[in-house]
Each structure stands twice: as structure tokens, then as C-alpha cells.
Amino acid sequence: MSRIVDVSVRHPRTKVSTISVVRLVHALDKLRGYRCPEGALSIAFLGDKETAKLHDDFLGDPTVTDVITFVGEDHPGEPFAGEICVNIDQARRAAKEHKVTLSTELRLYVAHGWLHLSGLRDSNKKESAAMRVGEAVAISHLDKLGTKLTVRD
């Protein structure tokens, strides 16, 4: 499957290569053991303010978060897998804390959202543990394929 990936970077200071995001999603789509629904996928790279507003509007929580995932709809003619909203500002803080690059942290966030669309949750300890395993498998898969995100700050 070679899905359509719509990439939107709505952050004032950071640029993310659209082609690198598309390649990342296509690589994740080949991951065994996890299946993201068929259809187009939207990925938006946002800042703190817009992410907090989405978090409040849709989940009733006005705090800043790293990734928000919206499950799509399975229309026969035009299935839509969903949307992954990634907070670049949070990724920047986490990258500094974990001593990794912004690109590495953003790649993790996209994988995290993709795993949510595949059915993984993280609302309790058991689910979070399964999500951490999924993230490790996804990142290892991406590393083996040499799949990276190209980010310019």
C-alpha cells in the first residue's frame, strides 16, 4: 500500500521536509505486527499554542502535549486513516532533555501517532507499556531502513 500523506508544517521557526515525512510513513506501513488503517493520512506539525488549543477543544485538557491523534473514517471510496498532530515545541524540549536531535524526537512522535492509529493506546500503565514496546519496534524498523526525518530549525 502506498498511501497519500498530507503534510502541514504550521510552525513559525521550524521546517520539516515533506518527502522525509512521506518516506517515514511509508516505512511504518511496512512494519510487521501493527496495521494502520488504509487511506490517506494527515500529519500536522504545530507549536505549543495550537496543540494546547486542540487538546482543550477535543479532549477537554488545555495543557500542552506532544502528540494528538485523530482516528479517521473508513469510507469505501476515499478512506481516511486519520490525522497525527505533532508538537514541535514539546519535541524540542524533550530532545534536549533526552540528549537526542529534534529530528529523532519528531520521528518518535510520528511513529507514536501512527501506532495510535494502529490501535495502541496509552491511557493506563498496561497500555503505556505496550505503546513503549511498539515505539521500540517501530524505531528499530526505521533505523534498519535508514529512515530519518529532515528538519531545519
pLDDT confidence of 2, banded at 50, 70, 90?
confident
Give the pLDDT band of residue 75 (cuts 50, 70, 90).
confident
**Domains of the chain as residue ranges with CATH:** 5-146 (3.40.390.30)
Question: What does the pLDDT look like over 118-129, one tens digit per residue?
Answer: 999 999 999 999
Which H or E run contains 133?
helix 125-145
Q: Per the confidence metrics, is the pTM higher than 0.85?
A: yes
Cα 9 from Cα 115, distance rounded (Å)? 21
What is d(CA 80, CA 74) in angstroms, rounded to the nearest whole number? Answer: 6
What's the CA gap between 66 and 61, in Å, rounded? 13
Cell of 124: 493506563
